[in-house]
Structure 1
């Protein structure tokens, strides 16, 4: 149950930082985060 709370916090934080709480906005944030992770790994 603790993991669920952490996941909700992460989702909320991403949605807050992204400036939107829609599924489309969240998907875009995930893509941006993925690009940043890949970029920092190179």
Structure 2
């Protein structure tokens, strides 16, 4: 990954975490992100 892509990804992650009001909300957001990534990986096979 290039530095600009890495920075963009980190910015999105940090903004997403900042939008969560609770640890539970953060966990749910990370779970959704993980499921999305897993689904994309399955489709790429």
- Which range, TM-score by smaller chain? 0.5 to 0.7
Q: How far is 1:35 from its partner?
A: 0.1
Report the structure number with the largest CA radius of gyration.
2
Match of 1:14 among 13, 16, 41: 16
TM-score, structure 1 normalization: 0.57
Provide the alpha-carbon RMSD of the alignment.
2.1
Q: Report runs of 4+ in structure 1 exceeding 4 Å deviation.
A: none
How many equivalent pairs are there? 32
d(CA) in 2 for partners of 1:40 and 1:21?
Answer: 28
> Gapped runs of 5+ residues in structure 2?
1-6
